[in-house]
Amino acid sequence: MKTIHIEKQNSSIFVGESYLNIKNYLPEKKCFLICDENIYRHYSEFINQFDYIVMGCGEGNKNWQTIEKIIGQLLERGADRNSFLLGMGGGLVSDVTGFVASIFMRGLEFGFISTSLLSQVDASVGGKNGINFGKLKNMIGIFNPPKFVICDPVLLQTLPKREVRSGFGEVIKHAFIKDEDLYNFLNDNCEALLNLDPNLMEDLVYRAVSIKTEVVEGDPFEKGERKKLNFGHTIGHAIENNSDLTHGEAVSVGMNLACQLSQELCELSNSDAKKVDDLLQKFELPLEHDVSADTINQYLIKDKKKNRSTIDFILLKKIGEATIVTLPIEELKTKVIALCAKS
Ligand SMILES: NC(=O)c1ccc[n+]([C@@H]2O[C@H](COP(=O)([O-])OP(=O)(O)OC[C@H]3O[C@@H](n4cnc5c(N)ncnc54)[C@H](O)[C@@H]3O)[C@@H](O)[C@H]2O)c1
Ligand SMILES: [Zn+2]
């Protein structure tokens, strides 16, 4: 097991720890476990030891109704200010659990057992949580870190293959923006990683979490450097919200598009742009989409990361190095039209 402690957030991530050891991490408080229907189906024997609440699966449930239902159940079962919430699931469950814990009775302590690759490498670090507002992703939320996150590679064995690939989209992003060595590791071990080799997965999750931790520690409220984690996400979110692609798949398409812009705007070499596409394809991630430029552009206007008339867009200078460029939204919209016409 490897431990990463985020000093400023007083939050610890335990990579390679067994979820079965959870009792060692829970405080002496009344604990409520929150999970979704899939997690309950796979891990009911474990979950039945807790007072638990099951929410519906999928982004469509990341909304106010779910928050109200969970708060209703917590009240019914006598939760109070001294209770502890344990989210067991992917990014959906952790975002919702963290949000409920942050607002219920002005805030409870909480922790996660992170069950998807995407949540282990991304949603587990950084203290962001929240819900969607209609079709707008993560519009309502708060920065508030969990006490702990358990990332057990064993849990990934039951994760559907498509979700595994989606998680790799996010890991690959970390490599592209910050770590050429991680790029080489992914490139050299693709097959074993796709087969979830436990030792390699522990190493991989640790490396990805370390990168995100370093970035988040330097910029907890996303004022500067942390924006680089949004590589592939600005257009990716627009595509995710208007297609059947998963988060990691949409980010893969978004990274391909951002690389095309990087070639034009910050001299990303053709060979590095090809390396980006090749690695994404090796991990069976898509590069193409069928969302119209108009739909993407309508979404960009509502992006919560935009300023009044500009947007901070993340480009790649080379493998392992990203840069933040402030683009006028009108210019980005024109570029999106050109990119969509090419594909
Ligand atoms: N807070 C953050 O910093 C942050 C970062 C990235 C993503 N997110 C959010 O996370 C969500 C996406 O996360 P996700 O990809 O984990 O989605 P998810 O939580 O919806 O999980 C994907 C699917 O896999 C199932 N699943 C998860 N773990 C499983 C397991 N071990 N075995 C079997 N099935 C399992 C889930 O039930 C679900 O059907 C989005 O809402 C996104 O906005 C948040
Ligand atoms: Zn993401």
DSSP structure string for 54-98: EE--SGGGSSHHHHHHHHHHHHHTT--TT-EEEEEESHHHHHHHH
Regions of the chain with pLDDT less than 70: 304-305
Residues of the chain with CATH 1.20.1090.10: 161-342
Atom index in ligand 1 nearest the CA of residue 138 equals 43
Residue owning the nearest CA to atom 41 of ligand 1: 92
Q: Which pLDDT tens digit goes with each residue over 284-323?
A: 999 999 999 999 999 988 776 677 789 999 999 999 999 9
Which ligand is closest to the CA of 138, given by its number? 1
Nearest 5°: the CA angle 328, 126, 171 is 80
Which ligand is closest to the CA of 125, given by its number? 1
Q: Distance between CA atoms of 29 and 83, rounded to whole angstroms?
A: 6
- How high is the pLDDT of residue 222? 80
CB of 158 sitting under 6 A from ligand 1 = yes
CA of 171 to the centre of ligand 2 (A): 9
- How high is the pLDDT of residue 25? 97
The residues, any chain, with a CB within 8 Å of residue 234's CB and separated by 6 or more, are 254, 258, 300, 303, 305, 311, 313, 314
If we measure between CA atoms, which residue out of 9, 3, 267, 260 comes closest to residue 150?
3
Fold of 2-158: Rossmann fold (3.40.50)
- Identity of residue 327: L
To the nearest 10°, report the CA torsion of 286, 237, 232, 123. -100
Cα 269 versus chain centre, distance:
28
- How high is the pLDDT of residue 9? 84
Architecture of domain 161-342: Up-down Bundle (1.20)
Atom index in ligand 1 nearest the CA of residue 116 equals 28
CA of 291 to the centre of ligand 1 (A): 23
Instruction: For the chain, give the longest Cα–Cα distance.
Output: 60
Burial group, residue 341, by CB count within 10 angstroms (0-12, 13-18, 19+): exposed
Which ligand is closest to the CA of 98, given by its number? 1
Residue owning the nearest CA to atom 13 of ligand 1: 91
- How high is the pLDDT of residue 301? 84
- How high is the pLDDT of residue 342? 78
- pTM for the full predicted model: 0.93
Residues of the chain with CATH 3.40.50.1970: 2-158
Beta bridge partner(s), residue 19: none
Q: Tell me the best of 88, 118, 161 to mutate to test the pocket of ligand 1, counting ligand atoms within 8 Å of each CB and taking the most.
A: 118
CB of 130 sitting under 6 A from ligand 1 = no
Q: Which pLDDT tens digit goes with each residue over 120-167?
A: 998 888 899 999 998 788 899 999 999 999 999 999 999 999 999 999
Q: Distance between CA atoms of 259 and 149, rounded to whole angstroms?
A: 32
For residue 234, the SS3 value is helix
Q: Give yes or no for a contact between 168 and 191, defined as CB atoms under 8 angstroms apart.
A: no
CB of 153 sitting under 6 A from ligand 1 = no
SS3 content of the chain, % helix, strand, coil (to 5): 55, 20, 25
- How high is the pLDDT of residue 304? 66
Residue owning the nearest CA to atom 11 of ligand 1: 91
Atom index in ligand 1 nearest the CA of residue 92 equals 19
